[in-house]
Amino acid sequence: MWYRVGVTIGTEAIMTEIMQIKRPDSLSKIAEERIRKGIIKGAFRLGESLQEAKLSEVLGISKTPIREALAALKLQGLVEIIPQRGAFVFSLSQDDVVELCQYRLFLETAALKRAINVSRDAFLAALGDIVTQMAAARSADSFELYLELDAEFHDTFFSCCGNHYLQEGYQKVGDIVRTMRTHLSKQSERTEKSFAEHEAIVTHLDEGRFDTALAVLKRQITRGERSYSDLIGANQ
């Protein structure tokens, strides 16, 4: 009797899962994701105007979901909305970049320490695999894939650190960091430096030179401070 009840309950749960219809994403969510990807991948310049009419035409949807998408992206820090002027891709002052780099270095250092202590072998194996994929992406001249792997490398600090507060803290600026990485990495020499530094971080961690690995990480992150002025000049 208990067996039959268990079967009945299990069957009902399975049927409920099968019969439930997944509600499709709203048009505003679709627009939000498309515009977000465009910003992150550099389809829009920093500070560029995001005209509702143009976006509506390109995406093939009305202005209302576009407006809702831009409002959502404003909350994520990717869009600035200026009254009487409209929406624009975010831009940062030099001081903003310095503070962002400081914040990022603080979080990544803490996450790296935690990941080494909590799951050293799995963490290093994951980083090593990503670096291998980065090498393949460079050989194939796949710039976009390389940048995705670059982001994944740093995301791994947080997925392996065992602290969801650190993860949430990084997620708040994650898309801004990805966007900056796209714009700052367009020169081939920057990609060469980036790859060498990722290799070095994994090697130093594997050989127990934690402080040296942190020094390489700091040099990599703070390079953004030194390069941002050139980026702003190129976008003006």
Element containing residue 86 per DSSP (H, E):
strand 86-89
Cα torsion 187, 193, 195, 200 to 10°: value is: -170
The three-state DSSP-derived secondary structure of 100-157 is HHHHHHHHHHHHHHHHHHHHHHHHHHHHHHHHHHHHHHHHCCCHHHHHHHHHHHHHHH
Encode pLDDT of 92-150 as tens digits: 988 899 999 999 999 999 999 999 999 999 999 999 999 999 999 999 999 899 999 99
Give the mean pLDDT of the chain: 87
Encode pLDDT of 37-81 as tens digits: 999 999 999 999 999 999 999 999 999 999 999 999 999 999 999
Answer yes or no: pTM beyond 0.95. Answer: no
| Cα 212 to Cα 101, 102, 103, 190, distances in angstroms | 19, 18, 20, 21
How many other C-beta atoms lie within 10 A of the C-beta of residue 134? 24
Tokens of 114: 């935690």
Encode pLDDT of 178-225 as tens digits: 999 888 877 667 788 899 999 999 999 999 999 999 999 999 998 877
Q: Which of 76, 93, 1 is nearest to 32 (CA)?
A: 76
What mean pLDDT is predicted for residues 19-39? 81
Query: What structural domains does the chain harbor?
Result: 24-89 (1.10.10.10), 94-235 (1.20.120.530)
How many other C-beta atoms lie within 10 A of the C-beta of residue 35? 25
What mean pLDDT is predicted for residues 11-22? 53
